[in-house]
Chains A and B, each alone.
Chain A
Amino acid sequence: MLNLIWLLLLTSGIIVAAANGNIEIVTEAALGAAKGAVEVCFDLIGIMALWLGIMKIAEKGGLVKSLARLMRPLMVKLFPSVPPEHPAMGAIILNLSANMLGLGNAATPFGMKAMQELQELNSQSDEASEAMCTFLALNTSCITLIPATIIGVRLSCESANPTEIVGPCIFATAIAMIIAVSLDYWFRSKSRWGRH
């Protein structure tokens, strides 16, 4: 699936550029993006270090574990393949909470931490586990309570009511989340059926 999407994006871009007689743009875009990707990663280093450091303190103090215990009834239903006391649970909760509050830069480090914890439970090491797929379904569709960035943009464009979009955002993300979780559940039961 991903192989096909990747190939389609790349080849259709090159074909369109060639057809428009504008093939130079491909070279420029490809080299620029390659450089840009590394810059994104470098920007991430500091933010990652900060939040993973803070998270380590929370972990050692037992804060992550109590958070996980609080959400346990829901989490064991969503992630049946993860032991309820596993550190992955705490990291997942931190990531989703940061997402809901619109704290994008804190969400990413917590999310990667959650993936690393889930990877330790994953026997097929280069293939996504069921728990990872569920986590990403939740993550990409997550309910947004505070769409902070867009409120900021609306403010700067002098909207008469910058926050009027909060309710609609919650509605739309809730629908997306329900669909994503149901679809993930369906895939999970189907794939278990066909595999070992």
Chain B
Amino acid sequence: MLLCILTLVSKWAIPLLLLIIPIYGYLKKVPVYESFVEGAEEGFTTAVKIIPFLVGMMVAISVFRASGAMDYLTQFLSPLTYQIGAPSEVLPLAIMRPMSGSGVLGLATELMRVYGPDSFIGRLASVMQGTTDTTFFVLTVYFGAVGIKKYRYSIVTGLTADITGFFAAVYICNLLFR
């Protein structure tokens, strides 16, 4: 039942938006096609503007990951997370999550294949995936789009939210699925 509703919503959300907004605009006497083109024009400049920011961030993250430095960080932290009820298998997810969206999705999929989606690890990995955000990517892209170089306290806030999300995910999964 829930699955039905959710898949329906995610299947229909975008087509409905593409249907309703232009019709609404047309009824309000907006020149719909011209307005679309006018808005779309900004897409190119904005996307190009974020290139330097994204190159900088992705190079650093990629070197960190590929060199094995991330594995050391995981090993270093795993005794701590074990204490709070998180199997060490999910730790790379938590550490990588703020840095790389696609990388982490691959990791989560791999965990579910190996341990099964309905195992504790599979469920925890799912909740973690749905909970935290790719904070570095979001900050890089959003600030990059307007040329902001000084992020002030927003990194601390974003990373704290990620850590909180991780702990909350571990807590609720232990409560419900153990």
Contact = CB atoms under 8 A, between A and B. Distances in A.
Contact of B126 (A5, A17, A165): A165
B168 interface: yes
B105 A128 contact: no
Interface centre among B118, B146, B147, B172 (most CB of A within 10 A): B146
Given A153-B105, A157-B117, A176-B132, A28 B66 contact: yes
Interface of B is mostly: helix
B84 interface: no
Interface in A124-168: 125-128, 132-133, 136-137, 139-142, 144, 146-151, 153-154, 157-166, 168
B58 A137 contact: no
B83 interface: no
A126 B144 CA distance: 10
A166 B37 CA distance: 37
B46 to A, nearest CB: 5
Interface in B71-90: 72
Nearest to B99: A9
A137 to B, nearest CB: 4
Chain A: interface size category: 35 or more
Contacts, number: 355
A123 interface: no
A137 B154 contact: yes
Interface of A: 1-2, 5-6, 9-10, 12-17, 20, 22, 25-26, 28-30, 32-34, 36-38, 40-42, 44-63, 101-103, 106, 108-109, 111-113, 115-116, 118-119, 125-128, 132-133, 136-137, 139-142, 144, 146-151, 153-154, 157-166, 168-169, 171-173, 175-177, 179-180, 183-184, 187, 191
18 contacts: A1-B156, A9-B63, A29-B63, A34-B58, A45-B44, A54-B22, A56-B38, A109-B43, A118-B146, A133-B153, A133-B157, A136-B154, A154-B126, A165-B123, A169-B127, A172-B172, A184-B157, A191-B152
Interface of B: 2-3, 6-7, 9-10, 13-14, 17-18, 21-22, 24-25, 27-28, 30, 32, 35-44, 46-48, 50-51, 54-69, 72, 105, 108-109, 112-113, 116-118, 122-123, 126-127, 129-133, 135, 138-139, 141-143, 145-158, 160-162, 164-165, 168-169, 172-173, 176
Given A9-B63, A128-B151, A132-B142, 12 more contacts: A1-B156, A10-B60, A16-B68, A50-B40, A53-B37, A61-B25, A101-B13, A136-B154, A140-B139, A151-B10, A173-B165, A175-B165
